[in-house]
Amino acid sequence: MSRLAKKPIAVGKATVVVEGGILSVKGPKGTLTKRVHPTIDIQVSPEGVMVTPKDHSRLAGMLTGTFASHVKNMITGVETPYVQKLIMDGIGYKMEVKGKTVVLTVGFSHTVALPIPEDVAVTVEKNVMKIESANKESVGQFAANVRRIKPPEPYLGKGISYEGEVVRRKQGKKAV
Three-class DSSP category at 8: coil
> Cα torsion at 27, 32, 37, 40 (round to 10°)?
-10
pLDDT band at 106 (very low <50, low <70, confident <90, very high): very high
In a domain, 175, yes or no: no
Last-in-domain residue among 79, 98, 130: 79
Average pLDDT over residues 71-94: 94
Helix 58-79 and helix 136-149, axial crossing angle in degrees, nearest 10? 90
Same domain, 58 and 89: no
pLDDT at 99 over 70: yes
Are the C-beta atoms of 1 and 64 separated by less than 8 Å? Answer: yes
Same domain, 72 and 59: yes
- Alpha helices per DSSP H over 7-116: 58-79
Q: What is the DSSP string of 139-165?
A: HHHHHHHHHHHSPPPTTT--EEEETT-
Same domain, 24 and 73: yes
Residue 33: its pLDDT value, please?
Answer: 95
pTM assigned to the model: 0.89
What are the Cα distances from residue 33, in Å, to 8, 9, 122, 152? 19, 17, 22, 35
Same domain, 104 and 152: yes
